Amino acid sequence: MKPYLVVTNEAYTDPTGFLSHPDGERGGEGWVEFKNAKEVVLGTYMADSDEQAIDMAAIEWEVSKEVLAFYPLSKIY
């Protein structure tokens, strides 16, 4: 088994931004706006193949496999 990072495909993702600190206000001070679509990390999955990792995430998040992408992770020693 190998670790895979499963993310949403950027073509199907449109988050607007995030707060840079807890005291910030959405759309105001402390708000970091994304200019382009970004991927959203759904999690790390231990799987035998990239397809299996996508399947596991799709089932857990109850989403279509077509809106997901993956990155194989490497161990750093």
Strands (DSSP E) contained in the chain are: 2-8, 17-19, 31-33, 41-47, 68-72
Tell me the pLDDT tens digit for each residue of 7-35. 998 877 877 777 888 887 778 888 887 78
Task: Give, as one character, the DSSP assignment of residue 62.
Answer: T
What is the domain partition of the chain in residue ranges?
2-72
Tell me the pLDDT tens digit for each residue of 42-53. 999 999 999 999
Name the residue among 61, 45, 42 with its Cα closest to residue 53. 45
Return left, alpha or beta for 11; rule: phi > 0 is left, psi -120 to 50 is alpha, else beta. alpha
pTM, two decimal places: 0.73
